[in-house]
Amino acid sequence: MQVGLPKEIKTDEFRVGLTPGAVREYSSAGHRVLVETEAGLGIGADDDTYRKAGATIAKSASEVFETADMIVKVKEPQPSERRMLRRGQILFTYLHLAPDPEQTKDLLSSGCTAIAYETITDTNGGLPLLAPMSEVAGRLSIEAAGAALRRHGGGKGLLLGGVPGVLPANVVIFGGGVVGSNAARIAAGMGARVVVLDTSLPRLRFLDDVYCGRVRTRYPTKDAVEEELERADVVVGAVLVPGATAPKIITRNSLKLLKAGSVIVDVAIDQGGFAETSKPTTHSEPTYVVDRVVHYCVANMPGAVPLTSSHALNNATLPFGLAIANDGLAGIAKNVHLLAGLNVHAGRVTCKPVADSLGLPFVAPNDALRLAA
């Protein structure tokens, strides 16, 4: 199979879909890899490094899209990239379609096969391709909160961990999954007072055992949510419904419970955000203020640390990408975890949470593959 790697063009995105090491693995398996020139500069990998790994260097993104059977990316294809997709071509990347009807419409019109990293599953019911970026984003969320809390960042001028004789910040985390647990780890390590709210009692028990009381846990009843918001200096949105639009935990009305200069870090912004006042921002302009509350809603947080993120992502995506390259659509059809990642195929939506979120017809993945055969 001819595998194509275009350079990421989303604002402030420096990650790469295939590291040189991953290219070598594809090449060793007998696949041809076409890499757009300078695609790896964000991680310090130049064209010669990719050539040594077995890649051919393309002069432009259009050359990659025109010739590749499978496109491997990091972020969702931008409008100019979506116009280059074609019927029968496989797109393997993060998509986050539920809050993005325009992208979904374009993918359906292209006739391509779009496989989303974020909905691929594993034998434990986890999301193995989402997990590494969730780990990065969870840890970065506390760094971002600390910067936004500073006076020149728009915050109240509070140090997360405090100092002797001065209380630390109160950090409230909604969601105890991969993002939430990593955010809790960093916040607690910095000395903040941390509480995690989650609807899963087993998950709360796990966090309680792991952190031995350094992180408090609560079930998110309405009373509990209001009480924690009133105390919070930082609120981290780490909620996730796989494939679907994120639930709105913080309404515009509940924003008034937060103190002036408090900070919201909405890690769920890729899926539409957990706060009604959230809107996507960039690393260049990461924050804005609504009702005296600082909002940090960068939609590609791990892009700030592309070297770490790209290698962590490729470690997870490599076996799935090779399975697709080795067997094509047949490899998807026989792999239940790749089937879970199939979001669009030949003009049909094949991920039920996406279809439900956008009010579109749903066709089961295997049925879609059979109908288009």
Neighbouring residues of 103: CB distance < 8 A, sequence distance ≥ 6: 76, 77, 82, 95, 97
State how far Cα 111 lies from the chain centre.
24
Let me know if 209 is a catalytic residue.
no
Tally of CA atoms within 13 A in the half-sphere of 245 that contains its CB: 15
Catalytic residue, from 100, 266, 270, 295: name it: 270
Name the β-bridge partners of 236: 173, 265
Q: Name the residue among 141, 181, 135 with its Cα closest to residue 309.
A: 135
How many whole angstroms separate alpha carbon 174 and alpha carbon 179? 10
CA distances in angstroms from 16 to 12, 148, 313, listed in the order given: 12, 28, 9
How many whole angstroms separate alpha carbon 86 and alpha carbon 4? 14
Catalytic residue, from 31, 96, 295, 345: name it: 96
Q: Are 170 and 193 in contact (CB under 8 A)?
A: yes
Let me know if 270 is a catalytic residue.
yes
H/E stretch holding 343 reads strand 342-345
- Residues with a catalytic annotation lie at 96, 270
